Structure 1
Amino acid sequence: MAAAKIKKGDSVVVLSGKDKGKTGTVTQVLPKAGKVVVDGVNVATRHRKPTQVNPQGGIERNPAPMAISKVAVADPKDGKPTRVRIEERDGKKVRVAVKSGEKIDG
C-alpha cells in the first residue's frame, strides 16, 4: 500500500457512508490496516454491564476506525475536500492542497 497523505491532526471531510459530509480531526492513523480514526465520526456504541471498575455501567461511545479512502483532507481555504500533492518549497517537501495550492499545516 502506498504511503498515506493523511496525517494525525489533519482536518478531514468524510466522502461516503452514514457520516458523509461531516468534518473532524484525525486522532489516529493505522497505515497497515489502511484506516483512520476521526474524532466524532463513525461512533460505535457499546452497552457495558456494571463491573467493580465501572459500577455504573451504561452506554460507551467511541470513534471506530474507518477506511482511509472514505476521507479527504479539508482544504485550508474553504473546508471542502481536496487531494494532496507533495511539492518542494524552499528546499523542503511540503503537503499542498491540489484545489487551492495552499500549504497544509502538519
Structure 2
Amino acid sequence: MEKVTRLASEKGVVIFSKSTCCLCYTVSILFRDLGVQPEVHEIDQDPEGLEMERYLARLGCTGPVPAVFIGGNLVGSTNEVMSLHLGGALLPLLAPYQDHADHALS
C-alpha cells in the first residue's frame, strides 16, 4: 500500500500504532528514552486504518502493531525491537536519528 510506504519513509523512525495499544506506547517511550522522536501514526484514527493494518500484516509484522520502521525499513513489532535493544543492535540503528549525543543508554 503506497500510503504505508510513503509514511514509513517520511521520517527516520516511524511507528504505526493504535491509540489503545499499550505495547505501542511502550515502544514509543523506549525510543524517546533513547533520544529519538519517532513519528507515530495511529492507524485506528485513520480512515484507511484497516487496509493499512492488513498491509502491515502482509509485510510480516506480527501483531500487526506496533509496526516499527527505521530508515524506511521494517524492523518489526515489539518482540523484534526489544530483541534488537537487548542484543545491543538497536542503538546503532537509531544513531542517525538521535536528538543529541548525551541521551540515556539504558
What is the TM-score of this pair, normalised by structure 2?
0.28
Question: Which has more strand, going by share of residues?
Answer: 1
Question: Which has more helix, going by share of residues?
Answer: 2
Larger radius of gyration: 1
